[in-house]
């Protein structure tokens, strides 16, 4: 899946995990909105999710993930796997055009409609049109600075916005403490 029009970045560093998403909403080559919220907390504020793709599809997936979390007592791993399974096998869900990052104090996943549940090895993942640039910037900052997770996502999103025309500097950041 190749999504244009957003950048979402998650970073785990120094006892925190931070997720940032830019606020730009585009339709073809037109900017429709500057301050959309693509990152939010769910499941009693214990899980942070961020989305790239169609807004309605993203909200639908957020609600479905939260329902899975309720069913599996907040177990993000089990909920992510079950959501990906449903997404891949259900005729209606397969048409959803979105990709999501979901994090808690222990886990970080990218969940896609292809049935993917991917946990990054380095504790950094970016999605969307500026995701690669943001992820590369975050990796460099983790390895060469003493910045914490929040400062890294903010700086990395600023770098991504300077490279990707579909990414702006109006960034939403959410953070939680890690459990290790």
Supply the pLDDT for residue 82. Answer: 94
Residue 2 lies in a domain: no
Asked, for residue 117, whether it belongs to a domain, the answer is yes
Query: How many whole angstroms separate alpha carbon 137 and alpha carbon 143?
Result: 10
Q: How many domains does the chain have?
A: 1
**Domain containing residue 18:** 7-177
Tokens read off for 19: 């997720």
The predicted-structure confidence for 76-128, as pLDDT tens digits, reads as follows 999 999 999 888 887 777 677 888 999 999 999 999 877 889 999 999 999 99
Q: What is the CATH number of the domain that holds 156?
A: 3.60.20.10
- 7 a catalytic residue: no
Residue 22 and residue 170 in contact, taking contact as beta carbons nearer than 8 Å: yes
The one catalytic residue among 6, 167, 172, 178: 6
Average pLDDT of the segment spanning 25-39: 86
Q: Is residue 63 part of a domain?
A: yes
- Give the burial class of 20: count Cβ atoms within 10 A of its Cβ; 0-12 exposed, 13-18 middle, 19 or more buried: buried
Q: 125-176: per-residue pLDDT in tens?
A: 999 999 999 999 999 999 999 999 999 999 999 999 999 988 899 999 999 9
Predicted pLDDT at 31: 85
If we measure between CA atoms, which residue out of 133, 143, 65 comes closest to residue 104?
65
pLDDT band at 1 (very low <50, low <70, confident <90, very high): very low
pTM: 0.92
- Show the DSSP H helices in the chain as ranges: 55-71, 76-89, 131-144, 149-163
């Amino acid at each position: 899946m190749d999504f244009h029009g957003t950048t979402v970045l998650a970073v785990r560093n120094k006892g925190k995990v931070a997720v940032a998403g830019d606020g730009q909403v585009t339709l073809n080559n037109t900017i429709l909105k500057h301050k959309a919220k693509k990152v939010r907390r769910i499941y009693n504020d214990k899980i942070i999710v961020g989305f790239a793709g169609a807004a309605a599809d993203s909200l639908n997936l957020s609600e479905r993930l939260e329902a899975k979390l309720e069913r599996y007592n907040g177990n993000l791993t089990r909920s992510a796997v079950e959501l990906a399974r449903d997404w891949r096998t259900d005729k209606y869900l397969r048409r959803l055009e979105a990709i999501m990052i979901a994090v808690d104090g222990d886990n970080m996943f990218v969940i896609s409609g292809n049935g993917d549940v991917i946990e990054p090895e380095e504790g950094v993942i970016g999605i969307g049109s500026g995701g690669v640039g943001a992820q590369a910037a975050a990796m460099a900052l983790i390895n060469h600075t003493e910045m914490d997770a929040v400062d890294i996502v903010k700086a990395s999103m600023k770098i991504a916005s300077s490279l990707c025309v579909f990414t702006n500097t109006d960034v939403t950041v959410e953070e939680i403490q890690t459990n290790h």
